């Protein structure tokens, strides 16, 4: 039982490049979330999903897209990376909106 797995763990991009971050969970959770964390700040919600095929915007959705084609996977895409998107990205999942969220170990993304 791996819990929540994020890939890759590290990545460096050039401005304007695109990439996709993958989050996979093996707990059969319905809800999945993408957060970003910047120095000196808490986690801010980017997008979330309440089930397979659904997505919704969080607090800071601009510049990101997401997809939940399979229940166990939640993908975060950057179509045209910008230096302001340099951050640590965390994925989480939960049974429902009131149950605790389980987090992955993060993806450290630098955009030059």
Partner 1 sequence: DAKTTQPTSMDCAEGRAANLPCNHSTISGNEYVYWYRQIHSQGPQYIIHGLKNNETNEMASLIITEDRKSSTLILPHATLRDTAVYYCIVRVYPNTGNQFYFGTGTSLTVIP
CB of 16 to partner 1, least distance (A): 28
CB of 70 to partner 1, least distance (A): 20
Q: Which residues of 34-59 are buried (b: 16+ CB within 10 A; e: fewer)?
A: bbbeeeeeebebbbbbeeeeebeebe
Q: Which is nearer to partner 1, 19 or 45 (CB)?
A: 45
Binding-residue pattern over the window 44 to 63 for partner 1, x denoting contact by CB under 8 A: xx--x-x-----xxxx----
DSSP state of 17: -
Of 3, 1, 12, give the one whose Cα is nearest residue 92: 3
With H, G, I as helix, E, B as strand and everything else as coil, classify residue 62: coil
Q: Which is nearer to partner 1, 57 or 70 (CB)?
A: 57
Find where tokens 């601009």 sit.
62
Q: Which residues bind partner 1 (CB under 8 A)?
A: 4, 31, 35, 40-45, 48, 50, 56-59, 90, 92, 97-98, 100-106
């Amino acid at each position: 039982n791996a819990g929540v797995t994020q890939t890759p763990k590290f990545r460096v991009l050039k401005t304007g490049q695109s990439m996709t971050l993958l989050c996979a969970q093996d707990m059969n959770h319905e809800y999945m979330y993408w957060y970003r964390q910047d120095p000196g700040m808490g986690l801010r919600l980017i997008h979330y999903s309440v089930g397979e095929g659904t997505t919704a915007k969080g607090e800071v959705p601009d510049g990101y897209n997401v997809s939940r084609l399979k229940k166990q996977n939640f993908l975060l895409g950057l179509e045209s990376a910008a230096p302001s998107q340099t951050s640590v990205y965390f994925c989480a999942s939960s049974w429902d909106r009131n149950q605790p969220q389980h987090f992955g170990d993060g993806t450290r993304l630098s955009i030059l």
